[in-house]
Structure 1
């Protein structure tokens, strides 16, 4: 490894686990659009970008719509559950998750990777695991 210096002293890192778990619970598991909108305002920057395997989603309202559509599409007990603890440093965090019906089989697994700016999510990459055969 190379030698590093930190001229300004240690920067305060965000609590990646709290932030990423809140994103799962308060945005992607929230069925009430008003509560989801409030969570997005608290957790995300003004103009966030989400990168999904099928496209790029820009803005809080568009991210809220994607979350709401997912929940509606997969039924009333579908939810995302974190796997382990989020890790991160220098503004980049990651949390593994699984999703499926509550108490049912896991339908999909993946990882959320975020860029955090001033304690809020600026960019979110949704990485889906390949289905197992």
Structure 2
């Protein structure tokens, strides 16, 4: 049994900064190919998205909906063990107010994201 743990912080930060905040689809596709398994699954509160291309299209729609200055920002450091990782984040216009907060929880297989649950915090 291997005791080697992947760099959970690198994987989840890269996902937030270079996938979910990346507006160039070609750049995003390269990063998705690097950090996601061949057949990843994205689980959102209202949808299940399968496959790298569909994940990229979901990000396109999300960024288009929120406008050109919207970005996701990691909060703190990701932690994980035995193939499960967690990272909190917030999002909103760059240099503007936080619009939404949440967390990503990922199943990591062979050093790549296999499944990603996007958990949104409820408004208080």
Selected match of 1:67 from 52, 59, 65: 59
After superposing on structure 2, the runs of 4+ consecutive aligned residues of structure 1 that deviate more than 2 Å are none
Q: Secondary structure at the match of 1:112?
A: strand
What is the root-mean-square deviation of aligned Cα atoms in Å? 0.7
Give the aligned partner of residue 79 of structure 2: 87
Alpha-carbon distance in structure 2 between the residues aligned to 1:91 and 1:84: 19
Residues 1-133 of structure 1: pairs in structure 2 closer than 5 A: 8=1, 11-132=3-124
User: If you compute each CA radius of gyration, which structure gives the higher value, 1 or 2?
Assistant: 1
Query: Aligned-pair distance for 1:104?
Result: 0.6
Listed as ranges, the gaps of 5+ residues in structure 1 are 1-7
The number of aligned residues is 124
Alpha-carbon distance in structure 1 between the residues aligned to 2:108 and 2:77: 17
Alpha-carbon distance in structure 2 between the residues aligned to 1:44 and 1:124: 10
Question: If the length of structure 1 is used for normalisation, what is the TM-score?
Answer: 0.91
Alpha-carbon distance in structure 1 between the residues aligned to 2:14 and 2:46: 24
